[in-house]
Structure 1
Amino acid sequence: MSQTIATPPTVRLDSDVIGKPISRPEGAAKVSGAAKYAAEYNVPNLWYGYIVDSPIAKGKILKIDVDAVLALPGVKQVFTHENVPSFAWFDRSYKDDVAPGGSPFRPLHEPEIMFSQQPVALVVAETFELARYAASILRIDYEVDENFNTDLEKARAAGKGFDAPKGKTGFLPPPKPKGDAEGAFKAAPHQVTGEYTHHAQHHNPMEMFATTVEWLGDGKKMNIYDKTQGAPNVQQYLRKIFSLSKEEARVVSKFTGGAFGAGLRPQHQVFMAVMAALELEHSVRVSMTRQQMFSMGHRPHTIQDIKLASDEQGYLQSLQHTAFAETSQFEDETETVVNWSGILYKCDNSKFGYELAKIDVDTPADMRAPGAATGSFAIECAVDELSYKAGVDPLEFRLLNYTYSDPTENKPFSSKRLIDCYHEGAKRFGWEQRNPEPRSMREGNMLVGWGMGTGCWDASMQKAAAKASLSADGKLTVHSATNDQGAGTYVIMTQIAAQTLGLPLDQVTFVLGDTNLPEAPLQGGSWTAASVGSAVQATCQEVGKKLLKLAQKMDNSPLDGVAFEDVQFADGHMRANEDITKSVAITEVLATSGEAAVEAESSAQPNPINMLKYSMHSHNAAFVEVKVDEDLGTIHVTRVVNAVAAGRILNPKTARSQVLGGTVWGISMALMEEAYLDNNLGRYMNHNYAEYHVPVNADIHKIDVIFVEEEDDHVNPLGVKGVGEIGMLGVAAAIANAVYHATGKRVRDLPLTIDKLL
């Protein structure tokens, strides 16, 4: 495979396709039911597995009585720690691509119980209904260890915190301290000290996790249809555990019904399904229930302490931000929480800290904008508080402390148009009409509040590969093993390929989600457009180079002697830049050459020089209007303007949808989402859709999305930054700040429920 270091594109990319609001080519399949998700593949003679969970938080399995279950006609097997097949090889040192430090959880491997809802058995039967019933009568005796703790605040009070190890990919340790943060704080005339908290939050995508294993009967060959954000990562995990070849463990994930980070790691249902299929030599499907979705990671309960101080004019004099977060007893899950404060604001005296505490819960997991959603809530609320103390408008306060370079790394930003986000967002929102006095704006019995918040997110790129085949009839097919969890991967990759080779969209097909295709990274971190998109562009450029060589072999070729850098592709033709009348149709080139197809495979990866030289981030500014019932304390988010600077926008339609989704999640985080953990039982008590609240249509009103134009030649060949996470940031803080403006009451604990206002 050829390899291409990320450099500016050599083929001209016009605005003909890229930058247009093109609809998703897979849209009809999704709404009609033709699109197959992990639990929908029609595999003949399929058996079903049902997972049994632990009802206790900590202890040990003493006895499992399987006789009554196995006596049921149609029950095929009950898998427990007592009969895990010998071929299921485990290694506590083995980690998947995004595993934190520590020892990964090994399902059905030991009698010890480490968290409530831990999977303890798998019942396999001829029908789903039978498997579910059989699981309900499985008798398991436990020895309960009453000495458990699921309370993060109790762990904090006991001094159980420890510095987070750098064991997780992507985790950045807190920035080093600068100046005299404590001394500057004490000397400053305006000070804010606050504790900001949120409890565990769960992903709850619409599609539940499931795996369908199609047993092919040729040795140990299987097609494994899994819900995941990265088929190659799942394949690597399964190959390691079960000693399988790539041919034996083909993983397919063509469509993913939302995941938001929950699908970055292989979940335990895929292990169980493959284990059962290998042992029984039969096709098996294992699906999680909605309740079981609360047993596989969450946004961690986090407590943040912030101390901010400014001078009389509002310039920051001291910035101190620490976080205390939960992790499991067996892994050290880490998030980048406090660093964002140092990136966003200029302050000569700063101090940061981040600690973990091990409690008896499952390992937390990445959840949309992991760390940043948590950190931005705290710092943006604290900045708002300090702006009031200093008597400076919250927007003006942010402009006073704006930084044009990254203070944490002493690097220039590759690009930063946050100041334009502020100005354009404020203008669209009408911020200049805001009365700064709390409780000064109302409509009848409703108190009206306006607030704002800011966010930034890494503009990352990972190594990715793609291959392309252009057939004689001018049809282009591009392949990569990447994923689409609903972000619009199919359409933007189609646009990139079509634009690079100047082909109509209906002549381009993008194929993804299969480990038989060129390897691609997990879909997460908002890096798919940059990573896979750059690989698609590089691959199509390789096809273009081959086409040019074929064109130059034609008799009286109009492109004879023209360098590839001097050729453009448009309207199905190759043309010389200096004289577009020197042109030849791509189909004519293929017909003349006699080639059935022109193929190429290539990859793209980050430019290491640019990574060392620049700090690369997307930015946003969110402006929010709330209306609070003065008597009842109910909060309604009636208007949001979210201004985003995220480099080049490949498709404003799908990008807007991503920001809309992120904004809705910010509203959800601020007002609704909270997993209620009964620390006496060590169990989440609202593990269902009825009681774990997320917004419905009636909760969402006007959301206005602005994309600020931003060019970036350093971040990647396409100049894109990704929009999956950035749209969520700053929204929860903006709501909390607007609630203060409306009511005069500060709430530093999410969600902002009625009881905290009354």
Structure 2
Amino acid sequence: MSETGKPISRIDGRMKVSGKATYAAEFNQPNMAYAFPVRATIAKGKISSIEDATARKEPGVIAVISYKNAYKLKPLDMQAQMKAGAAFLGENLPPLQDNLVHYPGQFVAVIVAETYEQARAAAYKLQVKYIADKAAVDLKTELPRSTKPKMFMGEEAQVNEGKAAGVLAASAQKVDHTYSTPVEHHHPMEPHATVAVWEGTDKLTLYDATQGVGLTSAIAAYFFGLHQENVRVVAPFVGGGFGSKGLWLHTLLVAIAAKAANRPVKLALTRQMMQTNVGHRAATIQRVAMGTDKAGQLNVLRHHTDTYNNLTQFFEPSGKQTLVLYKAPLREVTYNVAHLDRSTPTFMRAPGETPGTFALECAMDEMAYQLKMDPVEFRIKNHTAKDPVKGHEFSSEFLVECYRTGAERFGWASRSMEPRQKKHGKYLVGYGMATATYPGGRSAASVKVVMNDKGNVTVMTASIDIGTGTYTVLAQTAADALGVPVEKIDVKIGDSSLPPAPLAGGSQTTASIHPAALDACILLRKELASLAIADPGSKLNGSKPEDIGFARGTLFVKGNEDKSDTYLNILNRAKRNEIEACATTLPVSGAGLTVPSALCTPSQTPPEQNSDIKQYAFHSFGAQFAEVWVDEDFGTIRVKRVASVHDVGRIMNEKTARSQIIGGVIFGIGAALMEATEYDKRWGNPVTRTLADYHVPVHLDVPPIDVHFIGKPDPHISPIGARGIGEIGITGVSAAIANAVFNATGKRLRDLPLTPEKFLET
């Protein structure tokens, strides 16, 4: 592979910096109208009346739509939705279908007008009256009424419940502490937006900010009763998602508005709506206990999480990493889930692992200190090379190398075991570290490759680039597989009419689409070889297919490159304007999260590529190291540098991969020091409503971040050998920072974010 791995710049970068990259809200249509939603002002209850006469008289208003006159969507039916591929929803609440209110900010009406300003002005004139019920708005208050879910995403939720107590009591050393994390919101740079265009009554096009064009198409087709091939979803560029885009039903709301207006309609959510209508990471209260023998060998781990949900079965799975990390004979992972009348929690970058590694890795640091062991050596002592619950070998695992490499690059050896030993002027200086981990997922995917008689190649798949570099890395894969320059590759993605690919979530895109791209290129080369072998005018005429190699746009006989033929000459003699191939690849035992339709040639996946839990455990691993400076007088914590070392399989592009990890680390710094959504405990509405009061890291908050990859291909996940990297970068970061604060000051802060008032109160 000559192109794969190179740190080439994004092929779409010039389009983005020049403003030529078109995002969802920029697909303006002729005769387009604008929609603006009206949101509920109570947490729970029902609408008693809607007086819309005043709003209808406002300038430019085309329609006022509520449950009283909205198009009736197909009702929720889990079995039917699963059959249609539309069961994976952000919330089980099709918009404007009844008068019930489930959370503050819920969409209860939508105004359609000639301009955005007119729609927004009229929305404030709509008079909605409610009958409010007593709402559940506080997690601790509602925990006595919580439930114990049996399953999460097809896996047992309550693992070894009640079995850890005896082993803990008998342990020579033990720690048992409670850690908490707040509500966090995604806030990608591009807010959610959709433009809906109806063609007659049975064809719908949605220009949508989505992480999955196929999923959005399936959802819209199901609820409007359409054939999925008649619902086209277009998203060539998406300005970040982090789990928040693609599952939410405001796309149905704007499609309802467009149907009522009988013209194209745009809906763009405000930043305030992104606090209430497109999900969030739920708060957690986690109690982690562990016990060791006298030598520091773990014999038990217990991780319990209290959290909440609403309108789905999803909850924050904070015990996931505790089922994967460390060699302990017994581990107990349990959950209590309360119901809150709050907007629906959802997947947010490394769901479960982000808050879960904070709790587990802080507890590991506390145990290491109690044992007077170096935290790195304590982890290495308790390292496991097998999935500790299922017993499978990891498909590829170099976590100890991550620890050793990170420690060396960071200068860990200069760390003092005892706190308060390093100072820089008035600042106390501390070092902390933590383990990072995230599953290595792979789903079915299809890719079509077309080569024309000028040597240009087009790669097509319904995947998404949410800022991760998919355009670039896919071009690199195709360039290597065909032996043509990257400059000759045109990548088309983000359109549901293209060969299907999975949702861009769960760090699975690279592992899913690149094997399909590789196979499609191999099929295309084979067809070119067949044309040449059968052509008396070719120097390859009569050769055996297995003897033919390729390079630089040419096929040749291996060992005798004088016998060669260029791709273009082969096509020209065959009087072909173009040649194409399409391949579908999937894990051995199933399709993962996506089942493509039969558009392409299914590939025979070798049995050693067993991308599920039947033979191997697929996980990525890493180590996070952080240095903090703490001002004790003001309680301020500054992260001065970070080293982040990861084992994620083959690196497809050093530059884009490094950027992904840097982004994840910055996300983790935000979670550690500042991010939190606060709610009014009387009414349940968020009071941190914009980026003015929901704080995220800015340039001066971000230190130098040293990123290093182990770079060893995973031999089992696919022939490419790459696992995803979008989410692992955030895991462990907040724990490394909190552990560094203890090393600096001797204070244990167990409640995120680590704000000055918490430091001063400890």
Alignment TM-score > 0.5, same fold? yes
Of 54, 61, 76, which residue of structure 2 is paired with 1:91?
A: 76
State the Cα distance separating 1:577 from its structure 2 match: 3.6
Deviation at 1:429, TM superposition (A): 0.2
Other-structure match for 2:469: 488
How many angstroms apart in 1 are the aligned matches of 2:729 and 2:86? 23
Deviation (angstroms), 1:174:
4.2
Q: 1:286: how far off? A: 0.8
CA-CA distance at 1:360 after TM superposition: 1.0
Report the more deviating stretch, 619-628 or 24-33. Answer: 24-33
Q: Which residue of 2 aligns with 1:380?
A: 361
Match of 1:349 in 2: 330
Structure 1 residue aligned with 2:21 = 35
Amino acid at match of 2:725: V
> Offset at 1:246?
3.8
In structure 2, the partner of 1:107 is 95
The reply on whether 1:186 has 2:160 as its aligned counterpart is no
Q: Which residue of 2 aligns with 1:213?
A: 196
Aligned AA (1:144): A
Distance (whole Å) between structure 2 residues aligned to residue 561 and residue 645 of structure 1 = 46
Q: Say if 2:142 is the partner of 1:155.
A: yes
Counterpart Cα distance in 1 of 2:637 and 2:360: 22
Q: Which amino acid aligns with 2:135?
A: F
CA contact (8 A) 1:338 1:375 kept: yes
- Cα pair distance change 1:529/1:134, threshold 3 Å: same
d(CA) in 2 for partners of 1:125 and 1:133?
Answer: 10
Which residue does the alignment assign to 1:502?
483
The change in CA–CA distance for 1:350 and 1:215 in structure 2 (over 3 A counts) is closer
Match of residue 430 from structure 1: 411
TM-score by length of 1: 0.94
Choose from 298, 312, 322 the match for 2:294. Answer: 312
- Rounded to whole Å, the distance in 1 between the matches of 2:376 and 2:31 is 63
Residues 129-179 of structure 1 show CA distances to partners (whole Å, capped at 9, x for unaligned) of 10010001111111121x2112111122x242322434x4xx533474399
Residue 584 of structure 2 corresponds to residue 598 of structure 1: no
CA contact (8 A) 1:102 1:332 kept: no
8 Å Cα contact 1:178/1:349 also seen in 2: no
Q: 2:106 — aligned with what?
A: 118
Moved more, 552-561 or 412-421: 552-561
Structure 2 Cα separation of the partners of residues 410 and 659 of structure 1: 29
Q: TM-score w.r.t. structure 2 length?
A: 0.94
Equivalent residue number for residue 553 of structure 1: 534
- Aligned pairs for 1:245-260 (under 5 A) are 245-260=227-242
**Who is 1:44 aligned against?**
30
CA contact (8 A) 1:202 1:294 kept: yes
What is the CA deviation profile of residues 378-403 of structure 1, one whole-angstrom value per residue up to 9, with x for unaligned ones?
11000000000011000010010011
2:373 aligned partner:
392
Tell me if 1:297 matches 2:279. Answer: yes
- Quote the residue 2:604 is aligned against: none
1:56 to 24, 42, 46: 42
- Asked whether the equivalents of residues 23 and 236 of structure 2 are also in contact (C-alpha less than 8 Å), the reply is yes
* Alignment check: 8 A CA contact 2:648 2:725 kept: yes
Give the Cα–Cα distance (whole angstroms) in 1 for the partners of residues 328 and 541 of structure 2. 59
TM-superposed CA distance for 1:470, in Å, is 0.8
Partner residue of 2:757? 755
Tell me how far 1:727 sits from its aligned partner. Answer: 0.9
Q: Is the 8 A contact 1:637 1:700 kept in 2?
A: yes
Residue 49 of structure 1 aligns to a residue whose secondary structure is: strand
Q: Which residue of 1 aligns with 2:617?
A: 615
Shift of 1:357: 1.4
Q: Distance in 1 between matches of 2:729 and 2:559?
A: 42
* Structure 2 CA distance for partners of 1:546 and 1:641, relative to 1, 3 Å: same
CA distance in 1, matches of 2:335, 2:545: 51
| Map of 2:742 onto structure 1 | 740
Q: How many angstroms does 1:317 deviate by?
A: 2.0
Matched to 2:108, the amino acid is: V
Preserved CA contact (<8 Å) 2:713 2:720? no
| Per-residue deviation, residues 534-554 of structure 1 (Å, max 9, x unmatched) | 111111111111011011123
Query: Considering only aligned residues, what root-mean-square deviation do their CA atoms show, in Å?
Result: 1.8
**Moved segments of 4+, more than 6 Å:** 100-103
2:729 is matched with: 727
Q: Is the 8 A contact 1:114 1:360 kept in 2?
A: yes
Q: Which amino acid aligns with 1:148?
A: A
AA in 2 matched with 1:214 = V
User: Which residues of 2 match residues 75-86 of structure 1 at below 5 A?
Assistant: 75-86=61-72
1:655 to 649, 654, 657: 657
Percent of aligned positions that are identical: 39
Matched, 1:447 2:433: no
In the TM superposition, 1:260-279 aligns within 5 A as 260-265=242-247, 267-279=248-260
Alpha-carbon shift at residue 111 of structure 1 (Å)? 1.1
1:418 to 2:404 alignment: no
Distance 1:133 1:679 in 2: 29
Q: Matches of 2:699 and 2:301 in 1, distance apart?
A: 39
Residue 683 of structure 1 aligns to a residue in which SS? Answer: coil
SS in 2 for 1:332: coil
- Any conservation in 1 of the 2:385–2:394 contact (CA below 8 Å)? yes
| Partner SS, residue 758 of structure 2 | helix
Alignment coverage as a number of residue pairs = 735
> What's the CA shift string for 1:654-698, capped at 9, x where partnerless?
000000000000101101110001221111110111000000001
Residue of structure 2 aligned with 1:634, choices 615, 636, 659: 636
Q: Which residue pairs with 1:198 in the alignment? A: 181
CA–CA separation in structure 2 for the residues paired with 1:420 and 1:341: 20
What amino acid is the match of 2:729?
Answer: G
Say which SS state the counterpart of residue 496 (structure 1) adopts: helix
Identify the range of structure 1 (729-738 vs 318-327) with the bigger mean alpha-carbon deviation: 318-327
Kindly state the Cα deviation for residue 23 of structure 1 after the two structures are TM-superposed. Answer: 1.2
Following the alignment from structure 2 to structure 1, what is the Cα–Cα distance between the partners of residues 665 and 91? 35
Specify the SS of the correspondent of 1:662. helix
Q: Secondary structure at the match of 1:500?
A: helix
Q: Deviations over 1:590-613 (max 9, x none)?
A: 112211111111111012352311
Distance (whole Å) between structure 2 residues aligned to residue 740 and residue 22 of structure 1 = 40
Distance 1:331 1:313 in 2: 45
Equivalent residue, structure 2, for 1:643: 645
C-alpha contact (below 8 Å) 1:231/1:515 kept by paired residues: yes
Q: How far apart, in 1, do the equivalents of 2:163 and 2:128 lie?
A: 58
| Aligned-residue offset at 1:558 | 4.1
Aligned residue in 2 for 1:11: none
Can you give the 5+ residue segments of structure 2 that lack an aligned partner in the other structure? Answer: 590-606
**Structure 1 contact 416–645 (Cα < 8 Å) conserved:** yes
Q: Secondary structure at the match of 1:163?
A: coil
Tell me if the contact between 1:182 and 1:318 (Cα under 8 Å) persists in the aligned partners.
no
Cα deviation 1:487-515 (Å, max 9, x = unaligned): 01101111111110001111111101111
Aligned to 1:476: 457
Equivalent residue number for residue 600 of structure 2? none
| Alpha-carbon offset, residue 567 of structure 1 | 3.5
Q: Tell me if 1:587 matches 2:574.
A: no
Cα 1:581–1:380 shift into 2, 3 Å: farther
1:222 deviates by 3.4
More deviation in 439-448 or 305-314?
Answer: 305-314
Per-residue deviation, 1:276: 1.3
Could you tell me which residue of structure 1 aligns to residue 603 of structure 2? none
Q: What does the per-residue CA deviation read over 1:621-664, in whole Å, with 9 as the maximum and x for residues that have no partner?
A: 00000000121110100000000110000101100000000000
- Per the alignment, residue 7 of structure 1 pairs with none
What is the alpha-carbon distance in structure 2 between the residues aligned to residue 454 and residue 543 of structure 1? 43
CA shift for structure 1 position 473: 1.0
Deviation at residue 102 of structure 1 after TM alignment: 11
SS of equivalent to 1:727: helix
Give per-residue Cα distances to partners, 1:224-283, cap 9 Å, x unaligned: 101100111111111111122345421101110111000141x23211111111222111
Shift of residue 215 of structure 1? 3.9
Aligned with 1:84: secondary structure? coil
- 8 Å CA contact 1:478–1:509 kept in 2: the answer is yes
Selected match of 1:138 from 126, 133, 156: 126
Separation in structure 2 between the aligned mates of residue 98 and residue 454 of structure 1, nearest angstrom: 35
What CA distance in whole angstroms lies between the structure 2 residues aligned with 1:363 and 1:102?
A: 7
